[in-house]
Structure 1
């Protein structure tokens, strides 16, 4: 197991995958390393579901912290191509959180859920000794839809095109610079550009726009280990080869400057809000036009072919395994204590 961040593939294969409880015929897609969601077959419809930890960082302000927490838990199920529909959420709160602070978080959840037509159907909320920020609980998101509208995470096929929205390092810039602005030695304009990335840190709209446009064969949000990690996981799960180019990918203002300041590789660092997807060749322009209509920066970065692995500008890359932004966050948080 890695010292920090998600477990690696070897740990998953040895300690998790062999022990998954009962086998059921209605399980259409079960746990796989690097796959965002599972699927239950209920006849003509399916239920996609995903579970994620809840994090709240008071330093962001409780409205922003609540917005980020909500969209993180929506992201994994949104890449199923189905509209998120239901949320179960559990808060294990530190004793010091005030009623007013929690209310700010919860009202933000309510506001964002209404925007997406998501019903909060069950949960648990309590203060407990021993609980501390930022990890304050967990949530499970569901999306109910027709089986034919499901976009499987392992659906990339030879001949598909590889598309990406927003580019690398969005979360690294938007999150770290917003959180540690007082520690950032960059020109004021670069700091403001990086902070402007904060509300780009959701791929939910990206995924729903793409699915509505049609022709999407697979989607993955580029969280831990960034775009490179997402590409490797998608190619590996589908048993295909990706050939992609860095120069074709959009890079938003403030990202490269922030990543250089933190000495972080933007292609291997978390970029919540960035969507990597594969689409049928004749649908690529339609999907890109839909992104453009929604004011979502996007581009075609490569193609899918028979074989295996991911090749960037002709060179094979491997999964980064450890996200460099996690160590930076840990160090800066420790220095603040």
Structure 2
């Protein structure tokens, strides 16, 4: 995804938020996944997210990607509104295909679609979905909650979403790289993009949670560091990446740490509670591991690897390779 810089967002956009409302306990902020509003002693989490990087998995991702951002608050996503904007040559069958995926995803989450909008427009060249999600809980967790001495636990694997999208939407470009079985494995990773169970399981222990989507795991870590005012030290060798992901991304010369990574959850937790959290996640059949530590320092991320250290700070915008490919393929007229 190609985003406006966070410097611009903070300087211009976040200064134009209308009137102050004291019931808003957590409003817009860099890296914060969902707004939180206090209502009658409970907390309502609300989030809106577009999906622009996939056509073949649009309905499924439209539900799960947005639901993840509510779940990172430690709140179960319950009510969804969906706006679909489709190219003018789209058929009714195209809408039905998308909505079947939406329905399947909602059933998996035990959630409901309560409203939305559907239209065709000559201003888009591929389908776009914009989803709003609402949930209510008795407490909430924020991205900016990291404390010095915390460790960062990551669930599942990096770049699950990117792998599934590339295998699904760019199949012709992978024909000479993957076997039929490998295609099935790569495409099937879309089933792992939800982190709702991960987040609701981790909520008991978490000081911070974040869902790395565009910009990937590295962008997610940067946003956690920035919003918390902390420095995160990461060991790249500890970040799990599936072999099939490496194979798919190598074919496009993409870095698994900087592409779409819905399906992974980044969790800040006290070091002495990390073992309990990991054990509980594994009881849920969710693999998890410690990938970094939180210390005082200028907000940013230090990535350690066998080749040395890289320090990321300042403006947090990291281009997403999958989205750039989508833009390039449409400009060039490729499939």
Instruction: Please confirm whether the aligned pair reaches a TM-score higher than 0.5, indicating the same fold.
Output: yes
1:8 aligns with 2:44: no
Unaligned runs of 5+ residues in structure 1 are none
The equivalent position to 1:305 in structure 2, one of 292, 295, 317, is: 295
SS of structure 2 residue aligned to 1:302: strand
Q: Distance in 2 between matches of 1:56 and 1:327?
A: 9
SS of structure 2 residue aligned to 1:292: helix
CA contact (8 A) 2:53 2:326 kept: no
The equivalent position to 2:311 in structure 1, one of 316, 323, 331, is: 316
Q: Could you say if the C-alpha distance between residues 121 and 320 of structure 1 is closer, same or farther in structure 2, counting changes exceeding 3 Å?
A: closer
The equivalent position to 2:90 in structure 1, one of 91, 97, 103, is: 97
Q: Which of structures 1 and 2 has the larger relative contact order (alpha carbons within 8 angstroms, sep 6+)?
A: 2
Q: Counterpart in 2 of 1:156? A: 146
Q: Counterpart in 1 of 2:334? A: 336
The equivalent position to 1:108 in structure 2, one of 101, 106, 119, is: 101
Q: Counterpart in 1 of 2:260? A: 270
Shift of 1:133: 4.8
CA contact (8 A) 1:8 1:321 kept: no
RMSD of aligned alpha carbons: 2.2
Q: Distance in 1 between matches of 2:155 and 2:169?
A: 24
For residues 1-337 of structure 1, the aligned pairs below 5 Å read 5-55=2-52, 57-58=54-55, 60=56, 64-125=57-118, 127-130=119-122, 132-147=124-139, 150-184=140-174, 185-188=176-179, 190-211=182-203, 214-308=204-298, 309-313=300-304, 314-318=309-313, 319=316, 321-333=318-330, 334-336=332-334
Shift of 1:326: 2.0
CA contact (8 A) 1:166 1:252 kept: no
CA contact (8 A) 2:62 2:129 kept: no
Q: Distance in 2 between matches of 1:56 and 1:320?
A: 17
Shift of 1:277: 1.2
Unaligned runs of 5+ residues in structure 2 are none
TM-score, length-normalised on structure 1? Answer: 0.88
CA contact (8 A) 1:56 1:133 kept: no
Q: Distance in 2 between matches of 1:25 and 1:331?
A: 44
Q: Distance in 1 between matches of 2:188 and 2:81?
A: 30
Q: Deviations over 1:199-243 (max 9, x none)?
A: 2223233222322xx211111111111111111110110111211
SS of structure 1 residue aligned to 2:238: coil
Q: Distance in 2 between matches of 1:198 and 1:91?
A: 20
Q: Distance in 1 between matches of 2:80 and 2:213?
A: 21
Pick which of 9-18 and 315-324 moved more: 315-324
Shift of 1:330: 2.2
Q: Could you say if the C-alpha distance between residues 137 and 265 of structure 1 is closer, same or farther in structure 2, counting changes exceeding 3 Å?
A: closer
